[in-house]
């Protein structure tokens, strides 16, 4: 086994363990920290795919900004009440997970390799290709997301002002 494969399997194992910790830990703050670990491991996997821009964005957007919002929500909610309600959704989540596994397992069993993976990774994740794709192919979804974020920020400011 060569070194890149060994690194990938090590990172993938750590990512699976961290993801399982997110699901099975009892303390919601520990779950959030396990989620931060999983997001950082995903960023490291992007860097190993020669996509440093996507890896950096992964850390800044998800491990940084989104997780801060998650922690604020956890602090505002009552974790004890959430633990009581957790049992209600356990069966539903198990059924959905099994259905997802039934869909994904045949994809992993089918071993079709990409024609030229080196050529695909040379352009994947570069800032130029990301910008070209974002501002040519995905202009409308990008603008819709920016308007939704603007509305959310204005709503948060209005709600915060109303309390004072």
Tokens read off for 126 = 């570069």
Give the chain's length: 164
Q: Is residue 121 part of a domain?
A: no
13 and 91 assigned to the same domain: yes
pLDDT at 147 over 90: yes
CB 63 within 8 Å of CB 46: no
- What range does the domain containing 156 cover? 126-164
CATH code assigned at 38:
1.20.120.1200
pLDDT tens for 46-77 read: 888 888 888 888 888 887 888 877 777 777 76
Indicate if 149 and 105 belong to the same structural domain: no
**Cβ-count burial 42-54 (b if 16+ within 10 Å, e if not):** bbbbbbebbbebb
102 shares its domain with 135: no
Residues 97 and 32 in one domain: yes
Of the candidates 133, 125, 119, 117, which has an alpha carbon nearest to the alpha carbon of residue 50? 125
Domains in the chain: how many in total?
Answer: 2
Instruction: Tell me, yes or no, whether 159 and 88 share the same domain.
Output: no
Q: Is residue 120 part of a domain?
A: no
**89 found inside a domain:** yes
Going by pLDDT thresholds of 50, 70 and 90, the confidence category of residue 85 is low
More confident residue, 94 or 149: 149
Tell which residue, 63, 44, 56, 59, has the closest CA to residue 126. 56
Q: pLDDT tens digits, residue range 92-135?
A: 767 877 887 787 777 667 655 444 455 555 566 677 887 888 88
> From CA 46, how far away is CA 52, in angstroms rounded?
7
């Amino acid at each position: 086994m060569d070194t890149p494969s060994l690194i990938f399997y090590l990172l993938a194992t750590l990512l699976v363990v961290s993801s399982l910790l997110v699901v099975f830990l009892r303390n919601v703050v520990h779950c959030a920290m396990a989620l931060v670990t999983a997001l950082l491991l995903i960023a490291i996997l992007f860097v190993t795919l020669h996509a440093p821009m996507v890896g950096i964005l992964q850390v800044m957007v998800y491990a940084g900004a989104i997780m801060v919002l998650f922690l604020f929500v956890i602090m505002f909610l009552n974790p004890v009440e959430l633990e009581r309600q957790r049992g209600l959704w356990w069966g539903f989540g198990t059924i959905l997970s099994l259905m997802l596994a039934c869909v994904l397992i045949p994809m992993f069993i089918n071993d079709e390799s990409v024609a030229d993976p080196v050529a695909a990774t040379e352009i994947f994740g570069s800032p130029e290709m990301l910008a070209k794709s974002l501002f040519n192919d995905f202009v409308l979804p990008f603008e819709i997301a920016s308007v939704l974020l603007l509305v959310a920020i204005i709503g948060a400011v209005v709600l915060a002002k109303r309390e004072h």
